[in-house]
Amino acid sequence: MGWEIAKNVLLLLAGLGAMMFGMQVLSDNLTKASGKKMRTALSRLSSNRFKGILIGGTVSAVIHSSAATTVMVVGLVNSGILTLFQAASIIMGANIGTTVTGLMLSLQSLPITEIFAALAFIGIAMLLFCKKPLVKVISYILIGFGLLFVGMNVMKVSMNSIIANAPAIKDLFWKVKNPFLLLLLGAALTAMMQSSTTMTAILIVLSTSGLIDLQSAIYVVLGMNLGTCATSLIASIGANTNSVRAAMFHLLFNLFGTFIFFCLLFITPLRDWLIRCVLFGDDISKIAYSIAIFHAVFNLTTTAILVGFVPAIVKIVSKIVPEKKSKNEDDQMHLRYIDERFLATSSIAVGECKREILYMAERAYQNYLLSMDSIINVDLSKKEEFDKREAKINFLNREIAKYLVKISATNISDEDEQIIATYYHVITDIERVGDYAENIMEYTQRLSDDGSKFSPAAIEELKDLNNSISNLYLSTVQALNAQDLSALMQAEIYEDAVDDKKAALSAAHIERLENKECTVENGAVFLSLLNDLERIADHFFNVAKSIQEYTQGIVVQTDNIVVG
């Protein structure tokens, strides 16, 4: 008897493992298939809370995890892409979207579960005989979906065997009727597993095995909605003020909804009406559907009740989590956009990586402008500001490279893999721009030590060359940001102009040297400066050219990314 129970417990764990693995495979590949659209939808979100709810619900329904969506939102708030108000609406939508997973899991009660489970075999067969990227993604989706139902079925069979061999277990479960205890149990288990999906699957298996009735199950569901907040609270640790506020909003929103429903369920006529009319009553054959429907009703009703109070909840959260004092951005050695939280959703990680690279490029460009201003005016008063920004550029170069390695290790699409491969070269080019700007500051120091400066004619030539490099930089940013081939063509025109001007300026300066209109020392500095400016232009153009590796003749509109 004891060995039979032990074997079935092992089978139960195996089923749980298969179900969780299937859900992960399904979620990863659905995210992979829809990642680009999801990234675009989140980056273009307006302040319309209903649109935010729709996007949050859609994203959660696609990736089958409200916790993952909320963690993603916390990261986007941390990088400044989303405001707290926008995040609030997405979080509400995520709560609704996750109910789709419960409804899907409830299909386990259908007599055609075996057909769903067989999809795993079909997926494996497709994977063996076809290696096309799209087919591979579809294959993994089918495998994940099939394993989900295989795991659920194994869990159900093993649970029934355990009950048959140990009726005392059923008696123990049936004794737990205290609503507060059930709510706390649901919250604690969900927080421990950091997955309301897994907890929903376990609850469905328990209920269909007769271990828990519907009235008890709905209190566990209420607790699950509180427990899922643990993931976003953990994700907000170490993040900025608004990220912590977003996680706190998630907690307060679910807390208010749970409190409202918990109180309403104590009104016996209302509770009985809900179970009898909205759900399927106490029919054990339909209890899985009832649990899934209650989960959906709870989240839909909570959102409908509280959507009008979002500004008030945001104000409460802002008071609970006060604003931190801001510091000079270049004094802080931290990443602005990319975040470990995004690695679970690689398509988002790639998009935020581009934002971080654009930010790094802006830092390098600002240092370039500062160095040019310094050498033209022989002014080193901003040397400390320059050094801080140069240190930030070097920091960004190292950390972005590390992050690219981490993204490459995730389940990314072929297109994103191509993009990541180019980013390694892009950050190196940007870092080199910073190094050449550092050379220019050294030339300024040399002029300052000698008490000399360039002639008015040379200064005007440098200003003209500087304008061409600035235009090249702007075209480069447009090309990289929007994968805009027309901007790449414009960047090439400016890069050619820089080469031509550099040659002309070198010839003109040699003529001035021959006419003794400037000193040999200044002449050497000027020619070295021209070489460095040409190299800066080359590196900016390399950044623009990088899009050729993954842009197939399509001019894409900008994502309205703000840098600087």
Q: What is the pLDDT of residue 115?
A: 78
Burial status of residue 350 (CB atoms within 10 A of its CB: 0-12, 13-18, 19 or more): buried
* HEC profile of 6-57: HHHHHHHHHHHHHHHHHHHHHHHHHHHHHHHHHHHHHHCCCCCHHHHHHHHH
The distance from CA 174 to its chain's CA centroid, rounded to whole angstroms, is 42
Give the Cα separation of 524 and 474 in Å (integer): 30
Q: What is the pLDDT of residue 558?
A: 40
Give the Cα separation of 335 and 543 in Å (integer): 20
Instruction: Dump the DSSP string for 374-396.
Output: HHHHT--TTHHHHHHHHHHHHHH
Structural domains of the chain in order of their starting residue, each with its CATH number: 2-320 (no CATH), 336-549 (1.20.58.220)
Instruction: Dump the DSSP string for 110-153.
Output: STTHHHHHHHHHHHHHHHHH---HHHHHHHHHHHHHHHHHHHHH
Q: What is the pLDDT of residue 542?
A: 94
Q: Can you read off the two tokens belonging to residue 14? A: 């195996």
Burial status of residue 325 (CB atoms within 10 A of its CB: 0-12, 13-18, 19 or more): exposed
Give the Cα separation of 43 and 560 in Å (integer): 8
Q: What's the Cα-to-Cα distance from 138 to each of 68, 127, 387, rounded to whole Å?
A: 21, 9, 50
Per-residue pLDDT of the chain (564 residues; tens, 9 = 90+): 566 777 877 888 888 888 778 877 877 777 766 666 666 666 566 567 788 888 888 877 777 667 777 777 777 777 677 788 888 888 888 888 888 878 887 777 666 667 778 888 888 888 888 777 778 888 888 888 888 888 877 887 887 777 776 666 666 666 777 888 889 988 888 888 777 777 888 888 888 777 888 888 888 889 888 888 887 788 777 667 888 888 888 889 899 999 988 888 888 787 777 777 667 666 666 788 888 888 888 889 899 888 888 888 888 988 888 876 655 555 567 788 887 877 777 777 888 899 899 999 999 999 999 999 999 998 999 999 999 999 999 999 999 999 999 988 887 777 888 899 999 999 999 999 999 999 999 999 988 888 888 888 888 888 999 999 999 999 999 999 888 889 999 999 999 999 998 888 888 877 766 666 666 666 788 889 999 999 999 999 999 999 988 876 444 444 443 334
Q: What is the pLDDT of residue 564?
A: 40
Helix or strand or coil: residue 452?
coil
Give the Cα separation of 411 and 344 in Å (integer): 9
How many Cα atoms are found within 13 Å in the side-chain-facing hemisphere of 501?
21
**Helices marked H in 307-345:** 310-320
